[in-house]
Copies of this chain bind each other. A is one copy, B any other.
Amino acid sequence: MKQLTYLNDAGGVLGWDQQVTMPEGGTPARSKQSSALSAVTHERLTDDRVGEWLDALDDTDLSGGQRAVVREIRREHERAVEVPEDLVTEISETASNALPVWEEAKAEDDFDAFAPTLEKMIELKREYAAAIDPDRDPYEVLFEEYEPYLGLDTAERVLERLRDELVPLIDEIEDSDATLADPFADGEYGEAAQEETVRAALDELGYDWERGRLDTAPHPFSTGTQFDARVTTRFDPQDPMGAIGSTIHEFGHATYTQGLPREQYGTPLGQSRDLTVHESQSRLWENHVGRSRPFWDRFADTVDEHLGTDASAREFYEAANQIYPDNLIRVEADELTYHMHIILRFEIERDLIAGDLDVEEVPGVWNDKMEEYLGVRPETDSEGCLQDIHWTHGSLGYFPTYSLGSVLAAQLYASAEEAIDDLDGKIRSGEFDPLHEWLTENVHRHGCRYETDDLVAEATGESFTADYFLDYAHGKFGDLYDL
């Protein structure tokens, strides 16, 4: 089973290389290499002997850690064996073929060209869910691929609450007369200067360069193991704040990975918990640190120095916290409206899987919901329902974990603030070790030892809740926008 992890991680290296260093011509060979690796890992994971080993372990006396290992491997094994190999292959091939179709449809603003592919993918994912458990809501089964333990009902409850409380908050902000500073508004910032800036941010936050590196990628991501957890970013000449935020976001992912116990490498105890927890770590650093006043008290001079601006900590802090509801694009959204982008995707994909919505209705429903939640209507599908790659990949049920992660970030950060004396002051003076230590102690070192809800309870003393996120949002933006 350790070999399986090693082979999966080898696949991760191939993926990083493909996105960061591989020349364009390499695609055909890389696809074959990655598929061969996936075939090998799938074959091992579904081997009958794995089931026999797991059954044999049922009768033995196991420690808590050992029970967790068995639980996680059993879960992976059982899901994998239920899905016919042909279906796995068909989904993977449909996704491969869908990519250029989606890319062209997006470039040409032609949803009709993409619709049959989306239709097919939805059908295949329904089959996939039915293979795993024909008696349950298929969307619930799909969601559990990305967040196995929090439950779709929790996700639904939280998302509805975000919608109900954030829509009025965003409205208030729109009606507010406050104007936030934007020191980058009129400049152009070269790639070299931006790279120095984000490297300085990583230095400041305590990124372990011995076990990581920074590169650029068209779609920033983080990948790796506790021995080598890498970060990517991208640079837009008009938007250095975007690069800073996205780098700190990926740093949050990487620092979680770096904090996993090295001696457990290869077992679930040395692996990160699922997407909600991973996203909580990226959002905690991006939002609760990187968009905080104490961080900018610390970091403003460094930015002025590298980017030639002459702005105060307060001005950068305001720039990092601009709310702009007229933005149509999820990955460019601010901290509040971001959740509206998630909620509309969640509602649409849930209805698509349930058969309550036809593919051809997607563009209309998308635009209606954008108007309802954010008061803005996309003029094209490229800026609307064609903008994200997730459905092309077959990742239906993935989007909710983005919001759940943000919500969890706030809950964890509140506990860290409780536990660490004067955390703001420490950040202001560049002392990030106490926060790293708290996160490692309460989240990272556990790997997959606890189910998500138990991990949250162990770390914060409470069940998963949106209270902290909403308090934080009302507090910060109420203050910034004089509400």
The interface of chain A, by Cβ under 8 A from chain B, is 2-3, 6-7, 9-11, 13-14, 16-17, 21-30, 32-37, 39-40, 208-213, 224-228, 230, 262, 265-266
Contacts and interface: CB of A to CB of B under 8 A. Distances in A.
B25 A265 contact: no
Nearest to A215: B21
22 contacts: A3-B36, A3-B39, A6-B29, A7-B40, A10-B11, A10-B14, A10-B34, A13-B17, A16-B17, A21-B21, A22-B228, A23-B209, A23-B230, A25-B208, A25-B211, A26-B227, A26-B228, A28-B227, A29-B226, A29-B228, A32-B265, A40-B40
Contact of A28 (B3, B22, B24, B265): B265
Contacts of A213: 21, 23
Nearest to A270: B29
A317 to B, nearest CB: 32
Nearest to A39: B3
A26 B211 contact: yes
A29 B210 contact: no
Contacts of A228: 22-23, 25-26, 29-30
Contacts of A35: 6
B37 A10 contact: yes
Contact of A32 (B16, B28, B209, B266): B266
Nearest to A212: B23
A6 B31 CA distance: 9
A9 B33 contact: yes
Given A2-B32, A9-B33, A29-B227, 7 more contacts: A6-B36, A10-B33, A13-B17, A21-B21, A23-B213, A29-B228, A29-B265
Closest 10 CB pairs of A and B: A26-B228, A25-B211, A6-B36, A29-B227, A25-B210, A10-B33, A3-B36, A29-B225, A6-B33, A6-B32
Contacts of A265: 28-29, 32
A19 to B, nearest CB: 13
Nearest to A230: B23
A7 B36 contact: yes
A16 B14 CA distance: 11
A287 to B, nearest CB: 27
A228 to B, nearest CB: 3
Contacts of A262: 28
Nearest to A228: B26
Contacts of A208: 25
Nearest to A266: B32
A266 to B, nearest CB: 7
Contacts of A37: 6-7, 10
A215 to B, nearest CB: 8
Nearest to A37: B10
Contacts of A10: 10-11, 14, 33-34, 36-37
A246 B24 CA distance: 25
Contacts of A230: 23
A142 to B, nearest CB: 29
A93 to B, nearest CB: 16
Contacts of A23: 209-213, 228, 230
Nearest to A227: B29
A39 B10 CA distance: 13
A21 B214 CA distance: 10
Contacts of A26: 211, 224-225, 227-228
A29 B3 CA distance: 11
Nearest to A265: B29
